[in-house]
Amino acid sequence: MKILFLGYWSANEGLSVSTIYPHLQVLAAFPFVDRIFYCSIERESTLPAFSIQLPKVSHIPLHSPPQQNVILNKVNDFILFPKKLNTIIAQEHIDLLICRGAPAGILGHLVHLYTKIPYWVESFEPHAAYMLESGVWPKWDLRYLIEHFGESAQLRTATAIMPVAEGYRSVLISKAVPEEKLMTLPCTVDVDYFGFRETTRRQVRAALGLADQAVCGIYVGKFGGLYYDEEAFEIFRLSRQLIPNFHLIILSPQPAEEIRKKLMDVGFQENEFFVDGKPHHEIPLYLHAADFAYALYRPSPSKKYLSPIKIGEYWAAGLPVMLSEGVGDETEIIAAGKGGVLFTMKSVQTALKEMRKVVEAVSKSDYKELAIKYRGRRHIAQVYEKAFALTAAKPSSDIYLQTK
């Protein structure tokens, strides 16, 4: 069998490294999979070198020439890329298309209409709703309309749909999407790679100048859009105020100087924080130095259908999470007394006081067990096995999928 795996990000982006590469590795381990062609979308003028080395996997970058207008860029994607994908499918005799995320799934739908190839959409979330509710896209923005109608189309034509949250699977079933094609697959993590190491903790804390009694919070990711921005820095201010010997680590791709200025504007001294942008493979070092982590999502109704990979990474590293209430299946897990503390902007002070108790009371190994149970890599192979069986039972008119 030959598989084309389509991502919607650059091959070297953190999301690709953390969520696509592991899936390619699992696919390559199936004995009936002969070759995998991984297509990334590259928007910079120079194409990156592909760093992953896996048997059976070949990288085919799809270059998206930058347009003056982001809407024109989106339209160009959906005109140009289906033609390129159709050509690859014909030349390489592809049997199955796997799309990572609903934006990539729109391309999968368009390709399916032309080739009749079966396709899956994993990490299927209500992306259009996220962007609308977060104020990133207005309701009549062409990007919103394309995504909204594209998600509906995928639910009709994809062979397998893999939402990341069980709550969203239930919603889709209530909307008459066939239950057998819906397979929940959360964003998984390499628990051993992120697993807590005391030696690393001591080394990194020493390098950062942290005293033994310092309580360190860590935030990994961006500010704004789906996440809190100014509110996040108010939460950091209250953390400094309420937690003795507090120190903050921020690892973000956004400009470090801007983040440092915002921290100092809310009262931080230069020796009370560390801000930098680190590649994904270095993040565990800093997680080990921390005592708890922040997951600061801007609340909206559709956030309950998220599966933030960073929560799995935090748990694997032995960290309780301060999580915005209403995010993913994790809200129910934490509400049941496991994994951290929930908060709203009205309850930040109460949540921080509770976090102080949690940090002192719970063993790091307990959080690792949560990561294994809810975010372990075994979930990928288990769901793929079901999807392969379903796809083999429903061959397209042009291409018959065989699991030798």
User: Is pLDDT of 257 > 70?
Assistant: yes
Interatomic CA distance for residues 252 and 52, integer angstroms: 23
Which range among 128-137, 145-154, 197-206, 304-313 shows the weakest confidence by mean pLDDT? Answer: 128-137
On the question of pLDDT at 402 being above 60, the answer is no
Q: Determine the pLDDT at residue 401.
A: 38
* Residues 6 or more apart in contact with residue 392 via CB below 8 angstroms: 401, 402, 403
User: What's the pLDDT band for 291 if we cut at 50, 70, 90?
Assistant: very high
More confident residue, 75 or 165: 165
pLDDT in tens, 11-44: 888 888 889 999 999 999 999 999 999 999 988 7
Q: What is the pLDDT of residue 399?
A: 36
pTM comes to 0.85
User: Is the model's pLDDT at 325 over the cut of 50?
Assistant: yes
- Name the band, by pLDDT with cuts 50, 70 and 90, for residue 49: low
3-class secondary-structure state, position 324: strand
Lowest mean pLDDT among 44-58, 240-254, 362-376: 44-58
What pLDDT, in 10s, does the model give residues 327-339? Answer: 999 999 999 989 9
- Residue 343: the pLDDT is 97
End-to-end CA distance of the chain: 8
d(C-alpha 160, C-alpha 39), whole Å: 19
Q: How far apart are CA 183 and CA 181, in angstroms?
A: 6
Is pLDDT at 396 greater than 50 in this prediction? no
Report, as an integer, the average pLDDT of 71-93. Answer: 87
Q: Does residue 308 register a pLDDT over 80?
A: yes
pLDDT on residue 12: 84
| CA atoms of 164 and 143, how far apart (whole Å) | 22
* Average pLDDT, rounded, for the chain: 91
Among 241, 250, 244, CA closest to 213: 244
Average pLDDT over residues 223-234: 94
Using DSSP's 3-state secondary structure scheme, residue 96 falls into: strand
- pLDDT given at position 276: 96
- pLDDT reading at 262 higher than 60: yes
Edge-first strand order for the sheet with 321-324 is 273-276, 246-251, 215-220, 292-295, 321-324, 340-343
Q: What is the pLDDT confidence band of residue 208, given thresholds at 50, 70 and 90?
A: very high
Q: Delineate the domains of the chain, giving CATH numbers in brackets.
A: 2-188+377-393 (3.40.50.2000), 191-375 (3.40.50.2000)
Q: How confident is the model at residue 4 (pLDDT cuts 50, 70, 90)?
A: very high
**Best CA proximity match to 262, nearest among 301, 221, 234:** 234
**What percentage of the chain reaches a pLDDT higher than 70?**
93
| Model confidence at 76: pLDDT above 80 | no
- What's the pLDDT at 362? 75
What is the pLDDT, as a whole number, of residue 72?
72
Q: How confident is the model at residue 398 (pLDDT cuts 50, 70, 90)?
A: very low
- In this structure, the number of other CB atoms found within 10 A of the CB of residue 373 comes to 13
361 to each of 240, 290, 340, 341, 356, how far by Cα in Å? 20, 15, 11, 13, 9
